[in-house]
Amino acid sequence: MRISKDAIPLSTRQRLRRLFHPAFLGSLRRTTPLSRAWGFDRGTPIDRYYIERFLAEQRRDIRGRVLEVKDTSYTDRFGTDVTERDVLDIDSGNPHATIVADLAAADHVPSDQFDCFILTQTLHLIYDTRAAIGHAYRLLRPGGTLLVTVPTVSRAAAKASRDYWRFTTPSCAMLFAEVFRREDISIAAYGNVLVSIAFLEGMALEELNAHELEANDEEFPLIVTVRAVKSAGGTSGRDRLWR
């Protein structure tokens, strides 16, 4: 005789599930992470796998006059036909910075200057996200491309007071469509539950295999990528919004 699953009391079903699908936490059974340095002390931080693959896929956009935050490392690695490199940073002590500005209040930086703006892992550190995206749009030349990555899952930055936000695919879609035309925006999310746990623990990229890194689960993304092009003509979402 078969027993209906509804006839089994919930707690029995839960005990059976735990019995047949045990969770072995092993060396992760601890309340402190394996690394407090994003995994740098074990190898390459896991989020860099997706950030760098995204930029490699957009090589053709990284051309002409390119702006990057903090330093020119991604412009140097992934750029093609780059004619000028600039670095934007709020930190006036950054020796690489050619433009010292708060991206959320960058009114003193002239408009329509850059063919590409590489804005990786920075927007979550800026409280006024809308203002920052507005300035990123303004700094681009018509036809220029903004390449953004933002965390969905991440530990808090050491200076926790400067780490404001985490993003999802829908929040990026809404935020960027306030400024760029919807048809000029492409958004993707990458990661899965294993990758997210490993990144929080501070495990390194080298500790996961390709199959584990490549599996995408849209309910457990680690990172969101946005490619947005400033329309060479026509009306942007920002123009529509602010007219």
Ligand X SMILES: C[S@@+](CC[C@H](N)C(=O)[O-])C[C@H]1O[C@@H](n2cnc3c(N)ncnc32)[C@H](O)[C@@H]1O
Q: Is 104 in the site for ligand X (CB under 6 A)?
A: yes
Beta-bridge partners for 99: 88
Query: By C-beta, is 51 or 181 nearer to ligand X?
Result: 51
Q: How far is the CB of 62 from ligand X (least distance, A)?
A: 13
Q: Is 115 in the site for ligand X (CB under 6 A)?
A: no
- How far is residue 191's CA from residue 164's CA, in Å, rounded to a whole number? 21
Q: How far is the CB of 68 from ligand X (least distance, A)?
A: 6
Q: Is 122 in the site for ligand X (CB under 6 A)?
A: yes
Query: Please, which of residues 50-89 interact with ligand X by CB under 6 A?
Result: 68-70, 88-89
Query: By C-beta, is 68 or 201 nearer to ligand X?
Result: 68
| Total residues interacting with ligand X, rule: CB under 6 A | 15
- How far is residue 173's CA from residue 107's CA, in Å, rounded to a whole number? 25
Kindly give, in sequence order, each residue whose CB lies less than 8 Å from that of residue 126, ignoring residues fewer than 6 positions away: 102, 103, 104, 132, 164
Q: Is 217 in the site for ligand X (CB under 6 A)?
A: no
Query: By C-beta, is 126 or 226 nearer to ligand X?
Result: 126
Q: Is 138 in the site for ligand X (CB under 6 A)?
A: no
Q: Is 185 in the site for ligand X (CB under 6 A)?
A: no
Sign for the CA dihedral angle at 89, 94, 100, 104 comes to positive
Query: By C-beta, is 165 or 242 nearer to ligand X?
Result: 165
Sign for the CA dihedral angle at 170, 172, 174, 177 comes to negative
Query: By C-beta, is 64 or 151 nearer to ligand X?
Result: 151
Query: By C-beta, is 157 or 215 nearer to ligand X?
Result: 157
Rounded to the nearest 10°, the torsion over CA 81, 120, 105, 89 is: -70
Kindly give, in sequence order, each residue whose CB lies less than 8 Å from that of residue 206, ignoring residues fewer than 6 positions away: 42, 43, 44
Q: Is 121 in the site for ligand X (CB under 6 A)?
A: yes
- In the sheet where 185-190 sits, what is the strand order? 99-100, 82-89, 64-69, 114-120, 140-151, 223-229, 185-190
Q: Which residues bind ligand X (CB under 6 A)?
A: 68-70, 88-91, 102-104, 120-122, 125-126
